[in-house]
Structure 1
Amino acid sequence: MENVLLIVLLLLALALVGVVLLQRSEGGGLGMGGGGGPAGQRAGATALTKLTWLFGIAFMAISLALTILAARDADGTSVMDRVGGQAPLADTAEPDALDTDALLPPPSDVDPDAPLVPRAD
């Protein structure tokens, strides 16, 4: 039922956008747009205006119906309760000790021109 209403709502939204875009500009918005014309042109605009009102009312009614259906299906719990699972616990084990001596530069008694090969001691 909800899927059908969602599809109808999508179609109504597209139709509403199309009807609004088809309407003639009344002017006044940002100082541009259509000027005054003969009163006969106004008759076509009233049909589109009525269609816009019809689509708008239908859009609001279906949106309200979807809200009521969703509220009826809700069981009063939080969304986070329905997700399940728990937050991961913090790792309480101590990290491995770092060998900070390996980060230090070599002592000054080392010959800088000596090859970098490990000794076989």
Structure 2
Amino acid sequence: MENVVLIIHLILAFGLIGIVLLQRSEGGGLGMGGGGGGAVSGRAAATALSKLTWVLAVAFICTSLTLTILAAEKASGTSVLDRLTPQAPAAEEAGEPAQVPAGEDLLPPAAGDDAPLVPRAD
């Protein structure tokens, strides 16, 4: 299925590139205008090409999202939607509270303290 979506994605990409290159330039961004008139400059053709561009762009984005979801699903072994719900750690599910170190164990030793750095056994 991933190969089919990838092939459709590539076809849409090439189609989108071709349709964008066929359209007439209306801006004068670099001083290159669309020129005056011609067989390609009809308003109906521009409207049809712009609608086709939008259709191809939406289809391209949909296939991009589909490929992303398929790749993430294959990589983790679970669905992307399964990862949206928070899951409790395994220790809490077994009824055991999580082991949190005491506050004193987190602090560095005092400046004049010559005691070895060995954790206490309480």
TM-score (norm 2): 0.56
State the secondary structure of the residue aligned to 1:59. Answer: helix
Count of matched residue pairs: 75
1:14 maps onto 2:2 in alignment: no
TM-aligned CA deviation for residue 27 of structure 1? 3.0
CA distance in 2, matches of 1:32, 1:49: 20
Where does structure 2 lack aligned partners over 5 or more consecutive residues?
A: 78-122
3-state SS of paired residue (1:30):
coil
Extract structure 1 runs of 4+ deviating beyond 3 A. Answer: none
Tell me: CA distance 1:36–1:27, structure 2 relative to 1, closer, same or farther (3 Å).
Answer: farther
Shift of 1:68: 0.6
RMSD value, Cα: 2.1
Q: 2:15 is paired with a residue of what secondary structure?
A: helix
Report the Cα distance in structure 2 between the residues aligned to 1:6 and 1:12, rounded to whole angstroms.
10
Bigger shift: residues 19-28 or 56-65? 19-28
Report 1:21-100 matches (<5 A). 21-35=21-35, 41-75=42-76
Which amino acid in the other structure matches residue 29 of structure 1? G
Percent identity over paired residues: 69
TM-score by length of structure 1 reads: 0.56
Larger radius of gyration: 1
